[in-house]
């Protein structure tokens, strides 16, 4: 009888389906709305046994997920904060940053806005609320409507560091969940202004503003001539292992970096 049961159990194991390996990737909307899904789609075509769960809800959520060990990879458009590094160490997690692409934060206005160029000082004063009317920077009279990312976003933090001398955003600024939402709001509001990553800078109905004569082109980001350039990251718990390591390697490969360039980012190589 025991032998029969053993054979039945063995048969059940052999008949069981083979479950795909799942990579859980959470974090930055800048990376997670377009780039990482495209990388994942290409990777899956070569590795059909791998599935992906991708959640693009902001850099802070990605880093937190790696610390909590609920994600294999955290996407981030900013460096981890000292408090996050400490929180990781307290849980035995070593946050390892891996630069996967370079980006430039583009300033968008409505396509009909006559303002085509701003100084860094004007950008700072607009987003902090010191300047509230377009006529103060050479535009048509009208109140400036500011669109920013939400506080979980790495771009929200990076923009404060790069463009605002770490000052607070204007109280009137409206927080959006992602790059595409900001671009959409600016496209629909003649008085709107916002910021997005390079991959979202060609939204119909918007125009990219020069910053002191420099556009956020790939060349300007690469040469660091554009003032709002920054790296973007994957974060892992120590050195990535297994399928996560394979996906990181693919992202940094010639094929992966070609996708980085195709989507609108600047390759690391």
**What's the pLDDT score for residue 17?**
32
Side-chain-facing half-sphere of 170: CA atoms under 13 Å: 22
3-state per-residue secondary structure call for the chain: CHHHHHHHHHHHHHHCCCCCEEEEEEECHHHHCCHHHHHHHHHHHHCCCEEEEEEECCHHHHHHHHHCCCCCEEEECCCCCHHHHHHHHHCCCCEEEEEEEEEECEEEEECCCCCCEECHHHHHHHHHCCCCEHHHHCCCCCECEEEEECCCCHHHHHHHHHHCCCCCCCCCCEEECCHHHHHHHHHCCCCEEEEECHHHCCCCCEEECEECCECCCHHHHHCCCCCCEEEEEEEEECCCCHHHHHHHHHHHCHHHHHHHHHHCCECCC
Give the global pTM. Answer: 0.86
Mean pLDDT of the chain: 92
Domains of the chain (ranges; CATH) run 22-102+231-263 (3.40.190.10), 106-227 (3.40.190.10)
222 pLDDT above the threshold of 80: yes
pLDDT one-digit tens code per residue, 174-200: 999 999 999 999 999 999 999 999 999
**What's the pLDDT score for residue 1?**
42
Please tell me which residue, 255 or 19, carries the higher pLDDT value.
255
Q: How confident is the model at residue 261 (pLDDT cuts 50, 70, 90)?
A: very high
Q: Region 168-175: what's the mean pLDDT? A: 97
**What's the pLDDT score for residue 269?**
79
């Amino acid at each position: 009888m025991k032998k029969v049961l053993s054979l039945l159990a063995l048969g059940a194991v052999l008949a069981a389906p083979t479950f795909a390996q799942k990579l859980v990737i959470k974090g930055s909307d800048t990376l997670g709305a377009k780039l990482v899904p495209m990388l994942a789609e290409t990777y899956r075509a070569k590795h059909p046994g791998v599935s992906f769960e991708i959640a693009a809800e902001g850099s802070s959520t990605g880093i937190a997920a790696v610390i909590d060990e609920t994600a294999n990879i955290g996407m981030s458009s900013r460096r981890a904060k000292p408090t996050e590094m400490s929180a990781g160490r307290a849980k035995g997690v070593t946050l390892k940053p891996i630069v996967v692409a370079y980006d430039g934060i583009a300033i968008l206005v409505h396509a009909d806005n006559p303002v085509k160029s701003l100084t860094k000082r004007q950008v700072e004063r607009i987003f902090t609320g010191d300047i509230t009317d377009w006529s103060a920077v050479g535009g048509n009279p009208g109140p400036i409507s500011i669109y920013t990312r939400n506080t979980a976003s790495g771009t929200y933090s990076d923009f404060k560091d790069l463009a605002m001398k770490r000052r607070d955003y204007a109280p009137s600024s409206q927080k959006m969940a992602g790059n595409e939402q900001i671009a959409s709001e600016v496209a629909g509001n003649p008085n709107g202004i916002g910021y997005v990553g390079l991959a979202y800078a060609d939204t119909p109905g918007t125009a990219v503003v020069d910053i002191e004569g420099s556009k956020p082109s790939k060349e300007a980001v690469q040469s660091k001539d554009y003032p709002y350039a920054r790296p973007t990251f994957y974060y892992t718990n120590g050195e990535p292992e297994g399928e996560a390591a394979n996906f990181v390697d693919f992202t940094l490969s010639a094929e992966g970096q070609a996708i980085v360039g195709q989507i609108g980012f600047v390759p690391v190589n």
